[in-house]
Amino acid sequence: MTLEKVYRRKIGKFTDADIAAHCLNIKRTSILEGLKKRMVEGSIIRYGSGRSTYYVKSSSQ
């Protein structure tokens, strides 16, 4: 499954590990880069830091 498909299906909060579990062929660094890109675009918001980091879709979508 692609990163974009998994991202669209997520509801509520999610972590990079949640996405990695569905995208077995995508490296973790690529997943983190994709999440960072979406943060810059404003489509997701990051909460926490380190192992407690999670993401939520922005309500402005």
**What confidence tens digit (pLDDT) does each residue in 32-50 have?**
999 999 999 998 999 999 9
In the prediction, which pLDDT does 15 show?
Answer: 93
Class of domain 3-57: mainly alpha
Phi, psi of 37 (to 5 degrees): -60, -45
In the prediction, which pLDDT does 55 show?
Answer: 94
Tokens of 21: 């579990």
User: Would you list the domain boundaries of the chain?
Assistant: 3-57
Q: Percent of the chain at pLDDT above 90?
A: 54
Band (pLDDT 50/70/90 cuts) for residue 61 is low
